[in-house]
Amino acid sequence: MVALSFLIWLPLIFGVFAWISENKFKSSGNWITLISLSGLLIFSIYLGINGTSSLSWEWFARFNIHFALLFDGLALLLVILTIALAMLAVLVSWNDIEKHRGFFHFNLMFSVAGIIGVFLAADLFLFFLFWEVMLLPMTALILIWGHEGRRYAALKFFIFTQVSSLLMLVAIIALALYHQDQTGELSFNLGQLQQLVIPENMQFWLMLGFFIAFAVKLPMVPFHSWLPDAHTQAPTAGSVLLAGILLKTGAYGLIRIVLPLFPSATMEFAPVAVTLGVISIIYGALMAYSQTDFKRLVAYSSISHMGFVLLALFSWHEVALQGAILTIVAHGISSAALFSMAGLIQHRIHSRELGKMGGMWASAPKMATVTLIFVMAGIGMPGMANFNGELFTLLGSYQQFPVQTIVASLGIVLSAVYGLHLFQRAFQGPPNVDVVDLHMRELVFTSLLVVALIYFGLQPHIVLDLSSETISSLMQIAGEAHP
């Protein structure tokens, strides 16, 4: 289906279009980006509604590399999330960007194209290509429109991702060569590679190559330290995309590549990965509490939340896998929402320091209420999306790794500690600073986020229905690996 590839081309084309148009007519870029993203959203739903579709064009015939895309339920879910959060990124930085506005929109759309590519790729070479493609515009976003320490943060982000993805490249090539060794033909196709029977020892090293790349992206302690800097220094739109989607590509890689390709190595490695996940949960939460910078705090809380995803995936229990998917979606929304609030506050008081905030409820009650809801969602208030993810994760993981899961549960207390620290320092106490309350545009998109968080809290069905195919196939693989 040719139309499938439009999901990748269109954002690029519209990105260029917005760039040119913005340079001709000021602030037309916002509208073009927003409208084209809405169109893209409808288009992706239209494509995905009829079930799985795929596409495969011959590309480098000599190496048997194909331009192969696969658009199933899980991919649809994440593409929708990507586009929706990109729209949020546009809305939240409507007036924020002062220089090179056209180029900004181009970069935004460029990274959307790269991320959608990662979610669609069914060929490992293509996957790697998009993995690199999405890195460039994001680095540019941080480097050009970031805050005071942007050079350092962009460099750090680039090096961490680059080094780790080199390991992945080595693993990809080794995998393709092994396929040649076994069948006489090179292959980068995910479906074909899944048929390979790889000896345990080799599985482990290949798995590790992919795992480290994805663990850096996730991020997992101790590979996390690029994230607080990147998040803090990125412009709001960058933070929204980073936290909302970019981190999820790490989880997506685990789901799509590591688990199905290397099941027995994964299971063998699971105790280590789960323990690292639990360490991420606890350490991330403790570090979040230690911060006084609004964005840095939220960044560390993301590490804590993504630890739940790692715990869930490597537990490889059906309920836990459901929990992982729910957490991916929920954290995508809630962390993007919190970073938006950070952006709105920074736009008003030109600071991210909690010490410079305080008592803002008095002057901005709407902003306070919305932030409170986001914080509560983030710390797992039942009835909102994140709680479902955590509950499913804990219920499922407990069956496989009871001790680690119990330690992970302590994250519930710690999340309350940092969540209240954030909210109370900013909005309660004696008024320290007067801010302008949310105006119409801001109220609209923050309300939509609130509705989304509560909707997915009460009706997680759509998320789980879309991912049920992936989950059941993973459970089947698990059954075969451990009969």
Query: Using CB under 8 A as the criterion, which residues of the chain lie in contact with other proteins when the complex forms?
Result: 156, 221-222, 224-225, 228, 286-287, 289-292, 318-319, 322, 359, 361-362, 365-366, 369, 376, 381-383, 388, 391-392, 394-395, 398-399, 402, 405-406, 409-410, 412-413, 416-417, 420, 424, 427-431, 458-461, 464, 471
CB of 258 to other proteins, least distance (A): 21
Q: Closest CB to other proteins among 26 and 461?
A: 461
Q: Closest CB to other proteins among 21 and 291?
A: 291
Contact, 257 vs 210, CB < 8 A?
Answer: yes
Q: Closest CB to other proteins among 66 and 296?
A: 296
DSSP symbols for 142-189: HHHH--TTHHHHHHHHHHHHHHHHHHHHHHHHHHHHHHHHHHSS---B
CB of 429 to other proteins, least distance (A): 5
Contact, 444 vs 291, CB < 8 A?
Answer: no
CB of 167 to other proteins, least distance (A): 16
Q: Please state, in angstroms and rounded to a whole number, the distance separating the CA atoms of residues 208 and 20.
A: 43
CB of 194 to other proteins, least distance (A): 23
Q: Please state, in angstroms and rounded to a whole number, the distance separating the CA atoms of residues 138 and 151.
A: 13
Q: Closest CB to other proteins among 191 and 431?
A: 431
Q: Closest CB to other proteins among 167 and 395?
A: 395
Both tokens of residue 386? 């994140």
Q: If you search the block for the tokens 């715990």, which residue do you land on? A: 311
103 CB-near residues (< 8 Å, 6+ apart)? 19, 144
Q: What is the CA radius of gyration of the chain?
A: 21
- Longest distance between any two alpha carbons in the chain, whole Å: 73
Residue 219 Cα to chain centre, angstroms: 10
Residue 58's H or E segment, with its range, is: strand 53-60
CB of 318 to other proteins, least distance (A): 4
CB of 411 to other proteins, least distance (A): 9
Contact, 86 vs 108, CB < 8 A?
Answer: yes
Q: Identify which of 455, 441, 307, 294 has the alpha carbon closest to the alpha carbon of residue 388.
A: 455
Q: If you search the block for the tokens 């929990």, which residue do you land on? A: 323
Q: Closest CB to other proteins among 41 and 420?
A: 420
Q: Closest CB to other proteins among 410 and 444?
A: 410
CB of 295 to other proteins, least distance (A): 15
CB of 286 to other proteins, least distance (A): 6
Q: Closest CB to other proteins among 13 and 413?
A: 413
Contact, 354 vs 422, CB < 8 A?
Answer: yes
Tell me the helix, strand and coil percentages in the chain, rounded to 5. 80, 5, 15
